[in-house]
Amino acid sequence: MAKRKAQQDPAVDQPDNDKIKDLEQFMEDSSGALMNTNTGVKINDDQNSLKAGERGASLLEDFILREKITHFDHERIPERVVHARGSGAHGVFKLYEPLPEYTKAQFLNDTSIETPVFVRFSTVAGSRGSTDLARDVRGFAVKFYTQEGNFDLVGNNMPVFFIQDAMKFPDLVHAVKPEPDNEIPQAASAHDTFWDFISVMPESTHMIMWLMSDRAIPRSYRMMEGFGVHTFRLVNAEGKSCFVKFHWKPLLGVHSVAWDEAQNISGKDPDFHRRDLWDAIESGNFPEWELGLQIVPEEDEFKFDFDLLDPTKIIPEELVPVRRVGKLTLNRNPENFFAETEQAAFHIGHVVPGIDFTNDPLLQGRLFSYTDTQLIRLGGPNFQEIPINRPIVPVHNNQRDGFMRQTINRGKVSYGPNSIGDNFPLQAKVSEGGFASYPERIDARKVRARSKSFLDHFSQAKLFFNSQSEPEKNHMIDAFSFELGKVQSNAVRQRMLGILSLVDKRLASEVGFALRLAIPEIPEQPMNRSIPADADPADYEPVVKKPSVAASPALSMATSPKNSIQTRKIAFIAADGVDGKSLNTVKAALENAGAIVEVVAPRQNFILSETDKEVPVNHSLLTAASVFYDGVYVPGGADSVATIAADADAVHFLNEAFKHCKAIAADSAAIPVIEATYFAKQVPAECTDESVLLDGIVVGDKPSTLADRFILALAQHRFWEREKPRKVPA
Ligand code: HDE
């Protein structure tokens, strides 16, 4: 275990691995050093440029000024065309059990290896400086630095995609990005061009259900699932192949925030997810996911009522269970955001022997796009030599030169076959680990076409909607009403209502109610704008099927385990005169259960307890907000309670936490504070375990019992039932 060498010392050890050791040779640390130029000349004056006299013009001769300004002028590189905003972290992947029957990939066979990884999470639509809490898909890109080369699993937090063919990707992205005339809105899909496109692309219907669900506003990157989306292939040592879908299952469960909360966080802390990931790793709360595989034998390719090659479809876990085969732990923050996170170049085409592709037409297009985009973004063909992108194994081939070449290739030979260099570097036999593509049989005509097996656009959208809990369904109705409410065109809205009516009548009618628009009796022919010029519309007519599985509990976040408050953040609202026991007993119990407690007070720095002891304050009511926390507690102490009850910001804090359905606790002595809130009437007369599980409100005069009940409530994450009365104008 080695501490990071960052200037600000991290609180915990952040372990080394082979990739970190590799990166260390490129790291620079200025502590104790004298300043010099890029050519190594020591700098004597970094304050003043060279001038003709004290008040004279600057001299062109000033190589120190020129070098500094020139470098600065070139500091920016283009942001990623999608997934521009992201956060990265280092970690390791550890396998639970060897999988030789499916794959020969060494990192999926040798349980003694800890494979180093670098992960980058991202939003998709917004620019680099946009908010983390936009309603959006999240990228979940993992680079495994295996001993057989890099394997990149470039996935998302949703298991399906908007389109079935790479040909439509630029259209999709143009539609969702800010509109081109006025560059509005930033990091939002709630605008005309996006919904116009969706309304004439019925293949996007399933993905739109995910995007309008709370999955699009995660509580934390650490509480999201990840999916490889496409069906990939695994290939074993005998050359036998099977199909696979990759999953990441977060050990902290899958949780989201409320939409009103997301919008609030976007203003108060646009770096909310970035900060959350960084802080968790700095404090030793290393985020963990299990790698899950859904394996389908090759002979079962046509067993399903959807096409495995169609990226708008999941394989319901009821049909093929997810087998958890290993664990990913993120245990180290980057040293430098630009060098590591920004320059990381992921590519779905980075595979190792034992992992291969399928003919999913979206996957196939991606195989071209990722290298192509790095060539412009990172400035040339040598981006693989950038420290974060280099494999941990040495690279030997006959590729040479290009902008910014780092490697100094020795010798005269840069071609093969050759005799001067004894034909080195030699090709590797398959038995030596050489990659050989899976020899899939292909016997086909060259056509531009869409398989009829891709034309069922609604059944899995129905499956997703039917699998949600009531509150989740309501959130989706609200999300559609919000997004389509921001759309100006009634024609687009109406077309969307037509599509929604093919998914669920109640969904369509409630969104129609909010928009005050009738659902069209006969929905416009959905495919009539998105077919080739000479195609027969009948060949593209959507197939309407009943889902083969009626509901899949795994698709609902309500089924996520609710047995832990690990890393949850709780605000204690207090002022001078706080009852030390009431504060400290509950704090100790929550921290013992893995939560993080922060004291929020009217002013910064500290408060004094009843017995005049200093209690450190993490935030004042000015710099904190309820939306940064998972729950709130008000300790006793007569003076503290009187101050807090009379403080409008404190009362607003509680009202807002209630509105966002969070667990709330108060010492019985703090009842006057609760009485000042809008929800005073909803506090149960008698607080029991049952009432707490129902309402999420805990009141008690015994701090230890109160703490136990508060922990029970916090573990539920949210009490969405509270949304029904909607009586809190916070
Ligand atoms: Fe990407 N995608 N994508 N994508 N994608 C990029 O590559 C692209 C798709 C995903 O943290 C770009 O380096 C095409 C699906 C992630 O650096 C670009 C198509 C999925 C990231 C690109 C897709 C993804 C990207 C932009 C349709 C989930 C961020 C910058 C054929 C399985 C990686 C870059 C990171 C980034 C192209 C569809 C995931 C332009 C053409 C489906 C997580 O190459």
- Residue 38 Rama label (left phi>0; alpha psi -120 to 50; beta): alpha
Q: What is the DSSP string of 282-349?
A: HTT---EEEEEEEEEEGGGTT-SSS-TT-TT----TTTSPPEEEEEEEEEE--S-IIIIIIT----TT
3-state secondary structure of 558: helix
Taking CA atoms, 217 is separated from 156, 157, 213, 245, 261, in Å, by 13, 11, 8, 24, 9
232, 296 Cβ separation under 8 angstroms:
no
Q: Which residue, by CA, sits nearest to atom 16 of ligand 1?
A: 139
What does the pLDDT average to over 427-448? 96
The predicted structure's pLDDT at residue 411: 96
Q: How far apart are CA 29 and CA 5, in angstroms?
A: 8
Q: Using omega within 30 degrees of 0 as the cis cutoff, is the peptide bond preceding 185 cis? A: yes
Residues 542-547 have a mean pLDDT of 85
Specify the 3-state DSSP secondary structure of 89.
strand
Q: What is the pLDDT of residue 730?
A: 72
How far is the centre of ligand 1, averaged over its atoms, from the C-alpha of 12 (Å)? 33
Distance 142 CA to ligand 1 centre (A): 12
**pLDDT score at 530:** 83
Bond before 537 cis per omega within 30 degrees: no
pLDDT of residue 27: 96
Burial of 527 (0-12, 13-18, 19+ CB in 10 A): buried
Q: What is the mean pLDDT of residues 102-126?
A: 98
How far lies 323's CA from each of 97, 111, 132, 305, 653, in Å?
11, 16, 31, 22, 43
Q: Quick one: which atom of ligand 1 is closest to the CA of 83?
A: 29
Report which protein residue has its CA nearest ligand 1's atom 25.
83
Going by CA atoms, what residue is nearest to atom 20 of ligand 1?
155
| pTM over 0.95, yes/no | yes
Q: What average pLDDT does the segment 678-707 reach? A: 94
Task: Work out the mean pLDDT of the chain and round it to a whole number.
Answer: 96
Mean pLDDT of 225-233: 98
Quote the pLDDT of residue 526.
59
Backbone phi, psi, residue 471, to 5° = -60, -35
Average pLDDT over residues 347-369: 98
Which position has the higher pLDDT, 310 or 730? 310
As a whole number, mean pLDDT of residues 103-128 equals 98
CA 549 to chain centre: 28
Told to judge if 457 belongs to the known catalytic residues of this protein, a careful annotator would answer: no
For the stretch 397-433, pLDDT in tens is 999 999 999 999 999 999 999 999 999 999 999 999 9
Q: Which residues line ligand 1 (CB under 6 A)?
A: 80-83, 86, 120, 122, 139, 141, 154-156, 161, 166, 169, 229, 311, 344, 346, 362, 365-366, 369-370, 373
Residue 3 has pLDDT above 70, yes or no: no
Q: What percent of the chain has pLDDT over 70?
A: 98
Ligand 1, atom 1, residue with closest C-alpha: 366
Element (H, E) at 87: strand 86-95
pLDDT value of residue 5: 54
What confidence score (pLDDT) does residue 11 get? 78
CA distance to 124, 131, 369, per residue, from 82 (Å): 5, 14, 12
- CA 376–ligand 1 middle distance (angstroms): 15
327 phi and psi angles, rounded to 5 deg:
-130, 135
Reported as a single tens digit per residue, the pLDDT across 185-196 is 999 999 999 999
Atom of ligand 1 nearest to the CA of 121: 11
Per DSSP bridges, beta strands 697-700 and 663-667 are parallel
Catalytic residue among 17, 83, 230, 247: 83
Asked if residue 482 lies in contact with residue 190, where contact means CB atoms within 8 angstroms, the answer is yes
Sign of CA dihedral 487, 493, 495, 496: positive
Q: Which residues pair with 289 in a beta bridge?
A: 250, 328
Identify the pLDDT of residue 2. 54
> In whole angstroms, what is the distance from residue 9 CA to residue 171 CA?
46
* Domains of the chain from N-terminus onward: 86-385 (2.40.180.10), 458-558 (1.20.1370.20), 562-723 (3.40.50.880)
In terms of Cα–Cα distance, which of 268, 249, 271 is closest to 260? 268
Residue 439, φ and ψ in degrees, nearest 5: -80, 65
Q: Give the distance from CA 563 to its chain's centroid.
A: 23
Better-scored residue on pLDDT, 279 or 724: 279
pLDDT at 317 over 90: yes
- State the amino acid at position 22 in one-letter form: D
Number of DSSP helices (H) and strands (E) in the chain, helices first: 18, 18
Match 């087998």 to its residue by tokens: 323
Task: Indicate the range of 87-101, 242-256, 671-685 predicted with least confidence.
Answer: 671-685
Residue 262 has pLDDT above 60, yes or no: yes
- Paired with 184 in beta bridges are 179
For residue range 202-223, list pLDDT tens digits in order.
999 999 999 999 999 999 999 9
Q: Is the peptide bond before 425 cis (omega within 30 degrees of 0)?
A: yes
Whether the pLDDT of residue 6 is over 80: the answer is: no
The C-alpha atoms of residue 561 and residue 499 are separated, in whole angstroms, by 33
Q: Are 569 and 590 in contact (CB under 8 A)?
A: no
Ligand 1 atom closest to the CA of 365, numbered from 1: 31
349 neighbors 298 (Cβ within 8 angstroms): no
pLDDT bracket for residue 727 (50, 70, 90): low
Average pLDDT, integer, range 287-301: 98
